[in-house]
Amino acid sequence: MRKQGLVLAVIFIFALGVLSIPGKAAAADKVRLSFATTSFAIWFNKMTIGVSKRKGGLGFYEDEGLDVVITGAPGSSAVVKLAGAGQVDVTGPAGYVTLITGVDKGLPITTPWIETRQNIFFVVVPESSKFMTMRDLKGKTIGVYSMGSDGVPMAKAMAQDAGLNPKTDISVAPIGLGAQAVNAIQSGQVVGGSYWDTGIAMMEVLGLKFRYITTPGVSKAAYSSGFLANTNFLKNKRSVAVRFFRAIAKADVFLQTNPEASVKIHWKLYPISKPKTGDPAKNLRGQVHIVKARIRNVKKLEDKTIKFGWMDKNVWQDTVDFYHKMGMIKSRVPVGKIFTNDLIDDGNNFDHNKVIQMAKDWKE
């Protein structure tokens, strides 16, 4: 109970800087959205650039008749609890290990929209280090964002997949994000980190060059993060959910077409996220580097074989089987409880070319 109170307190603090997005009229439908971090991370700009034009956004939410309120929570475990308790309707991309664990515990949550279509977690070590494989990290401490991050189970899964004992052969320690994490690695507090694509890119921007380490089993467990939602919200407010994800899909089209513009819009909405020192052009290139690190792992705009958000049942089964084999989840939860493609067709039903042109024509 005390732990839950701490999570809610952190969320309250984040909410002091909340971005409330008014719809076109008082009758706009409210959607409570939570990030899986307590920062205004640039890789969440897919969820921010669609805010009201009056605030400097592109207006995708208000065009869909939505009033979206954004808060944040410290990691995937926290947002799973919030969505399961009905305290938020939708969460931004969160780790699927915690989703499956929550479903296994009976929480009313599922993923209606995938974000990354291949595993985004790696253990990274400085390029100059002697460590080449996961087995080389026996007896070492690996940094993670927080103990609630999916970097914890992913590091342990890689250790087991490499033939190590994940309970005794490696240890993990929370080192945060960005500069804090870079300092922990450079000082030797940890040998490296278990992070996701954009978290790694964030450290690369700060000057670290990494060697990426993974294992065959982890690479095959392709589905690692996506949007989560309370199942009662999806059932009782399906139209609202469709319109929310349609706005997300529009944002996806825009930022893939013009990633630089997506960074500048996010900075305008969240000035605290814009670097205050250093060369402005270099800072912009760095933030675009982070955004592109995520674009590499999502459904590509030019790929017409699938739609934004769509998931493959067979890939989901492979993912669940691996997570279970590695001990990351306690049981093989039926994949039908974990995901739904019910919103995909309606969520993709908009003029993609119109958004592409908007992105090409965008000016500050």
Backbone torsions φ then ψ of 187, nearest 5 degrees: -80, -10
DSSP string, 192-254: EEEE-HHHHHHHHHTT--EEEE--HHHHH----EEEEEEHHHHHH-HHHHHHHHHHHHHHHHH
Dump pLDDT digits (tens) for 136-162. 999 999 999 988 788 898 899 999 999
Do residues 213 and 124 lie in contact, with contact meaning Cβ atoms separated by under 8 Å? yes
CB atoms within 10 A of CB 36: 29
The rounded distance, in Å, linking the Cα atoms of 157 and 277 is 39
Beta bridge partners of 173: 143
Residue 189: both structure tokens together: 């507090």
At 322 the pLDDT is 86
Do residues 143 and 174 lie in contact, with contact meaning Cβ atoms separated by under 8 Å? yes
The rounded distance, in Å, linking the Cα atoms of 24 and 105 is 39
Dump pLDDT digits (tens) for 23-52. 444 589 999 999 887 877 888 899 999 999
DSSP string, 9-52: HHHHHHHTT-EEE--SSTTPEEEEEEESSSS--GGGHHHHTTS-
The rounded distance, in Å, linking the Cα atoms of 297 and 226 is 12
Residue 31: both structure tokens together: 């959607």
Residue 190: is its pLDDT beyond 80? yes
Domains by residue range for the chain, with CATH: 2-118+223-361 (3.40.190.10), 122-220 (3.40.190.10)
At 22 the pLDDT is 46
At 5 the pLDDT is 43
At 298 the pLDDT is 93
At 150 the pLDDT is 80
Which of the pair, 37 or 264, is modelled with greater confidence? 264
The DSSP letter of residue 278 is: S
Percent of the chain with pLDDT over 70: 93
Residue 9: both structure tokens together: 């307190």
Residue 1: is its pLDDT beyond 70? no
Residue 110: both structure tokens together: 């599922």
Tokens 């399906």 locate to 238
333: helix, strand or coil:
coil
Dump pLDDT digits (tens) for 61-94. 999 999 999 998 888 889 999 999 999 999 998 8
The rounded distance, in Å, linking the Cα atoms of 259 and 198 is 14
Which of 170, 211, 165, 214 has the alpha carbon at shortest distance from 190? 170
Residue 91: both structure tokens together: 């969460």
**Residue-wise burial string across 165-198, b where 16 or more C-beta atoms lie within 10 A, e elsewhere:** ebeebbebebbebeeebbebbeeeebbbbbbbbb
Dump strand ranges (E) for 81-186: 90-95, 109-116, 122-126, 140-144, 170-174
Ranges 57-66, 123-132, 321-330: which has the least confidence: 321-330
User: What are the Cα distances from residue 99, in Å, to 75, 93, 198, 357?
Assistant: 12, 11, 20, 36
287: helix, strand or coil:
helix
At 16 the pLDDT is 34
The rounded distance, in Å, linking the Cα atoms of 210 and 208 is 6
